[in-house]
């Protein structure tokens, strides 16, 4: 039982990472119908920037905040410079552009900082927390906390601020939003900026575990994609829950199903997700889009 709880908690910790990236994917998807394959590599790049600042002697939380600001500006710039010109192209063409972003960021990070793995500090104490027989890594607990705080901020932002309302409106119905005076283009750029911030948080939280290297976010991005699909691409809350579910399922499958081991873990997790999708084709919380013929 203790092992079970421990595995669930560490599953929740990685699940929180998937949830943050999944949320970033869903935000961009809702506004533009595009899955940003470059999301993970943008997050990795932001994490490298944080690493460079830490190396220059900036205290952790200072570097953390500065990285979030840089990630926001970076996301906005990417939307304006790279995505805006292909706005009216077919969706798959835009997907290819985001694949371009993925290889560009990965390659440039490798070029500047080399492909050598770099240790990344955790802001939380290294002493594990004990609750009875269960030993929990402080980083795991802190990571869950940070994810939940981010989620709370997002919820408050979208639910209670005029800007959040405008962004939701722009994503939901761009034409009508434009008619009531919302700058839809600006909202999209803002959406990319925020998505980039969530990605950066996830990157900085996952780097102490995976150690920093240019392909660090590859697997995370994949799980996040699976999580967003499981939760339903039309539902941010679903994406978050999907993230936690994927994290826990992945961990439990690796622990309890012995012949699978770490190699086939991913495949089994994905097979289970697909089984769920076959029953609920638009994800657990997604709504089916009804189109007029």
CB of 276 to another protein, least distance (A): 10
CB of 18 to another protein, least distance (A): 14
User: Which of 150/273 has CB closer to another protein?
Assistant: 273
User: Which of 92/175 has CB closer to another protein?
Assistant: 92
Using CA atoms of 272, 247, 201, 207 in order, give the dihedral in degrees to the nearest 10: -110
CB of 254 to another protein, least distance (A): 14
User: Which of 134/264 has CB closer to another protein?
Assistant: 264
User: Which of 13/109 has CB closer to another protein?
Assistant: 109
- Interacting residues with another protein (CB under 8 A): 29, 35, 82, 85-86, 88-90, 92-97, 99-104, 106-108, 110-111, 222, 225-226, 229, 233, 263-264, 266-267, 270-271, 273-274, 277-278, 281-283, 293
Shortest CA distance to 39 belongs to which of 100, 113, 84, 98?
Answer: 98
The answer to whether the beta carbons of residues 30 and 51 sit under 8 Å apart is no
User: Which of 56/279 has CB closer to another protein?
Assistant: 279
Residues 6+ apart with CB under 8 A from 178: 184
d(CA 188, CA 184): 6
The answer to whether the beta carbons of residues 189 and 32 sit under 8 Å apart is no
User: Which of 37/244 has CB closer to another protein?
Assistant: 37
d(CA 198, CA 67): 11
Other CB atoms within a 10 A radius of the CB of residue 184 amount to 19
User: Which of 137/254 has CB closer to another protein?
Assistant: 254
CB of 63 to another protein, least distance (A): 25
CB of 253 to another protein, least distance (A): 14
d(CA 140, CA 205): 9
CB of 238 to another protein, least distance (A): 13
The answer to whether the beta carbons of residues 204 and 258 sit under 8 Å apart is no
**Sign of the C-alpha dihedral, residues 83, 174, 281, 235?**
positive
**Sign of the C-alpha dihedral, residues 79, 200, 119, 7?**
negative
d(CA 265, CA 262): 5
Task: Quickly tell me which residue has 């600001």 as its tokens.
Answer: 69
CB of 160 to another protein, least distance (A): 30
């Amino acid at each position: 039982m203790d092992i079970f709880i421990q595995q669930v908690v560490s599953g929740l910790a990685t699940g929180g990472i998937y949830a943050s990236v999944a949320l970033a994917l869903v935000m961009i998807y809702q506004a533009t119908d595009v899955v940003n394959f470059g999301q993970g590599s943008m997050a990795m790049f932001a994490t490298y920037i944080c690493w460079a600042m830490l190396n220059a002697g900036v205290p952790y939380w200072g570097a953390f905040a500065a990285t979030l600001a840089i990630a926001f500006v970076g996301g906005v710039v990417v939307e304006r410079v790279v995505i805006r010109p292909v706005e009216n192209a077919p969706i798959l063409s835009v997907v290819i552009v985001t694949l371009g972003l993925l290889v560009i960021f990965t390659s440039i990070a490798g070029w500047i900082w080399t492909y050598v793995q770099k240790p990344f500090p955790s802001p939380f104490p290294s002493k594990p927390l004990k609750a009875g027989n269960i030993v929990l890594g402080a980083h795991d607990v802190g990571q869950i906390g940070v994810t939940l705080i981010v989620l709370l901020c997002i919820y408050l932002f979208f639910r209670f601020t005029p800007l959040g309302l405008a962004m939701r409106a722009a994503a939901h119905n761009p034409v009508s939003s434009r008619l009531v005076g919302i700058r839809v283009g600006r909202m999209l750029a803002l959406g990319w900026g925020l998505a980039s911030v969530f990605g950066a948080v996830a990157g900085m939280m996952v780097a102490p575990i995976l150690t920093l290297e240019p392909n660090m976010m590859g697997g995370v991005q994949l799980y996040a994609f699976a999580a967003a699909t499981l939760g339903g691409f039309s539902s941010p809350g679903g994406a978050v829950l999907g993230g936690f579910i994927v994290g826990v399922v992945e961990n439990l499958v690796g622990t309890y199903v012995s012949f699978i081991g770490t190699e086939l873990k991913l495949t089994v997790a994905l097979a289970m997700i697909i089984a769920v999708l076959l029953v609920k084709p638009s994800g657990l919380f997604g709504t089916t889009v009804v189109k007029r013929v």
